[in-house]
Each structure stands twice: as structure tokens, then as C-alpha cells.
Amino acid sequence: SNEQFKCKQFIDKAIGYGIEGVQVDGNNVLEVYTTVKSLAEKMRDKPQPVLLECLTFRMRGHEEAS
């Protein structure tokens, strides 16, 4: 949220670190798989950090006991 960081989206932090940033639908397992596979192949050829943001939602709150 904007209370945790100043950028509009978390992925924008990659720019500040001078690294590649990739955003995927974290609820789409195939998209996550193909993206991570592609990034891993690139990293094997040219090792460098990448910020991967998987967008998803919380089905329930943090506390399940109540």
C-alpha cells in the first residue's frame, strides 16, 4: 500500500535499484511459471537481480483463530 512505500506500485521500486522489474498475475499459475522460467533462463546467461511482483489477493485476514 502507499503507506508502506512511496511509489505508485511496488514494482516501481525496481527502477530505484536500477534492476529489471516484472509484474505477473500471482493467481495465474501458468503465467507465474512461464515468467519465472523465462527469467531463470536469462539469469543463467547473464546473472543479475530481478524484482518479481506477483499480484494476488488475500482470501481471509491474518488471524484465523477468531
Residue 66 has pLDDT above 90, yes or no: no
Query: What is the model's pTM?
Result: 0.76
- Structural domain includes residue 2: no
- Structural domain includes residue 19: yes
Q: Which position has the grid cell 512511496?
A: 6
pLDDT at 61: 72
Residue 64 has pLDDT above 70, yes or no: no
pLDDT at 10: 87
Q: Containing domain of residue 35, as a range?
A: 10-55
- Structural domain includes residue 4: no
- Structural domain includes residue 32: yes
- Please state, in angstroms and rounded to a whole number, the distance separating the CA atoms of residues 53 and 22: 6
- Structural domain includes residue 61: no
Number of domains observed in the structure of the chain: 1
